[in-house]
Amino acid sequence: MNKAELIEAMADSADISKAAAGRALDGMVEAITDAMKKGDTLSLVGFGTFSVKERAARDGRNPQTGETIKIKASKIPSFKAGKALKDAVN
């Protein structure tokens, strides 16, 4: 499913226009992004939890040369599925 298909499904489910569903989806994505930029955790009960995890600095290897390189620490987005979502998929 791509973004256009998701917007269509949202519009049909909520009985709203595709334009309104598109704005709602864009607003939700923006709100999740803003919360994660601040380092907050966003929990949607039954669906899952969006959070930011710290990845430590580590040594890596350049696959072309075999040379050891330093990979700096970073923050990565993370999603953990909730019980209801897991049950729906299985």
The tens digit of pLDDT for each residue in 6-48 reads: 999 999 999 999 999 999 999 999 999 999 999 999 999 999 9
pLDDT, mean of residues 49-54 = 95
What is the value of pTM for the model shown? 0.77
pLDDT score, position 37: 94
Confidence at residue 64, expressed as pLDDT on a 0 to 100 scale: 93
> In this prediction, what percent of the chain has a pLDDT beyond 90?
96
Instruction: Look at residue 75 and give its three-state secondary structure.
Output: strand
Torsion of CA 60, 61, 62, 64, to 10 degrees: -160
Q: CB burial class (10 A; 0-12, 13-18, 19+) of residue 7?
A: buried
What is the pLDDT at residue 19? 96
d(CA 81, CA 33): 17
